[in-house]
């Protein structure tokens, strides 16, 4: 009997629905070809629902979503809703409550895609960022006192415990062992780089650095360990991205460097990410926003969403299907699409989805 995966589909706001439709088109084609089944259920969480009902997420949402094998998300963010409400109330809440403690962000330049980095090609830009996804400054520990006075104090603390740091590091070491440059036949070693700020944030990154070397030495002797300050990492991501294999970092630093990484791989039209709970329900998304000004025009690029779908299949164990989708996307970027930008692809959103599905 073929396997059936239960997938919760959250198109969300703006162009989210358009890109997710192409993603599910490709997922369905992959299911047919590789002999598994997808049982898709739509949820309407997002800005429109909030504006209608005043509710960001119903109380039942988290419990309902826990019944699925994975979540496929479009985009969150609505022009008529104050920034922060939907991001915190949907995206961050799901990450936290589903304990998706890893944000996996490949930074990979596909063939035929333009990068703003001079003299760099696909052979130079091919690494992965493992971002801690549920802790650190994102938990919002702190507050404001004497608000509105000139004595106002605002505190937002970067809090990590050993458990959070260690489980993230272990995921990153495991990932590096299986997917590092050596494992892929692209280099001599599998290397994990810790990105931190041990010269200033001497508490939090001291914990990260000690845990990194202890865990690595004890359990992953074959993975090479490097340490980089986050500011220097930004320079090397531009100047010598080919140095990197797998990087692991805290939530806030990971948020920042993965946007820098995304632009080097061609930007929001292509960058995808996974919010992963290795023991639970994971959620996959294109990392671009809801692009309100392009909504409904059929010109947004669905490739990031399609790649997010491939990451979802990979996490579910459908490795061959995932690889085949990624290869199909690379073929399209290499031979068909002129630009990843909305309206400049030379094809409509659904034509791009059709082309990927046809290759499968
Ligand atoms: C991301 C986004 C989110 C984050 C926002 C929308 C809350 O920027 O996934 O990187 O900061 O994590
Ligand atoms: Mn971000």
Query: Does 338 share its domain with 252?
Result: no
pLDDT in tens, the chain (360 residues): 689 999 999 999 999 999 999 999 999 999 999 999 999 999 999 999 999 999 999 999 999 999 999 999 999 999 999 999 999 999 999 999 999 999 999 999 999 999 999 999 999 999 999 999 999 999 989 999 999 999 999 999 999 999 999 999 999 999 999 999 999 999 999 999 999 999 999 999 999 999 999 999 999 999 999 999 999 999 999 999 999 999 999 999 999 999 999 999 999 899 999 999 999 999 999 998 899 999 999 999 999 999 999 999 999 999 999 999 999 999 999 999 989 999 999 999 999 999 999 999
With residues binned 3-state (H G I as helix, E B as strand, rest as coil), the percentages for the chain, rounded to 5, are 45, 20, 40
Per DSSP, helices labelled H in the chain are 16-34, 47-53, 61-65, 85-86, 93-97, 162-179, 204-219, 230-239, 251-264, 303-316, 319-335, 349-359
Number of domains in the chain: 2
Q: Choose the residue to mutate in 92, 93, 102, 106 for probing ligand 1, maximizing ligand atoms within 8 Å of C-beta.
A: 92
72 and 89 together in one domain: yes
Distance 217 CA to ligand 2 centre (A): 31
Q: Look at residues 212, 242, 265 and tell me which one is the last residue of a structural domain.
A: 265
The CATH number of the domain where 224 resides is what? 3.40.718.10
Task: Please tell me whether residues 286 and 297 are part of one structural domain.
Answer: yes
Question: Are residues 120 and 246 located together in one domain of the fold?
Answer: yes
- Structural domain containing residue 233: 115-125+133-265
Question: 256 CA distance to ligand 1 centroid (A)?
Answer: 9
For residues 234 and 315, membership in a common domain is answered with no
Enumerate the active-site residues: 138, 197, 231, 255, 259
Ligand in closest contact with the CA of 285: 1
Looking at ligand 1, which residue's alpha carbon is closest to its atom 10?
255
């Amino acid at each position: 009997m073929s396997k059936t995966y239960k997938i919760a589909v959250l198109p969300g706001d703006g162009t989210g629905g358009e890109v997710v439709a192409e993603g599910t088109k490709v997922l369905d084609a992959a299911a047919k070809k590789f002999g598994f089944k997808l049982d898709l259920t739509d949820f309407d969480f997002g800005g429109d629902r909030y504006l209608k009902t005043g509710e960001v997420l119903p109380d039942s949402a988290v419990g309902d979503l826990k019944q699925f094998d994975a979540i496929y998300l479009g985009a969150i963010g609505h022009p008529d809703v104050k920034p922060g409400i939907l991001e915190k109330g949907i995206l961050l809440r799901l990450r936290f409550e589903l304990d998706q403690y890893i944000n996996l962000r490949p930074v990979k330049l596909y063939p035929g895609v333009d990068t703003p980095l001079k003299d760099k090609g696909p052979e130079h830009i091919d690494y992965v960022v493992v971002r801690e996804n549920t802790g650190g400054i994102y938990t919002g520990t702190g507050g404001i006192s004497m608000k509105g006075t000139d004595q106002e104090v605002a505190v937002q603390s970067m809090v990590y415990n050993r458990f959070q740091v260690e489980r993230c590091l272990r995921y990153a070491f495991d990932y590096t062992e299986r997917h590092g440059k050596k494992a892929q036949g692209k280099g001599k070693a599998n290397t994990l780089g810790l990105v931190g700020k041990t010269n200033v944030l001497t508490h939090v990154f001291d914990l990260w650095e000690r845990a990194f070397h202890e865990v690595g030495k004890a359990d992953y002797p074959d993975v090479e360990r490097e340490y980089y300050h986050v500011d220097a990492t930004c320079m090397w991501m531009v100047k010598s991205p080919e140095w990197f294999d797998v990087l692991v970092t805290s939530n806030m630093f990971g948020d920042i460097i993965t946007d820098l990484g995304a632009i080097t791989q061609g930007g929001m039209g292509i960058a995808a990410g996974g919010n992963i709970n290795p023991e639970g329900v994971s959620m996959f998304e294109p990392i671009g926003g809801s692009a309100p000004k392009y909504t409904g025009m059929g010109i947004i690029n669905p490739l990031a969403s399609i790649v997010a779908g491939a990451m979802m299949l990979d996490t579910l164990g459908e490795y061959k299907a995932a690889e085949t989708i990624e290869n199909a996307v690379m073929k399209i970027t290499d031979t068909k699409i002129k630009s990843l930008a909305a309206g400049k692809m030379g094809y409509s959103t659904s034509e791009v989805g059709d082309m990927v599905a046809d290759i499968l």
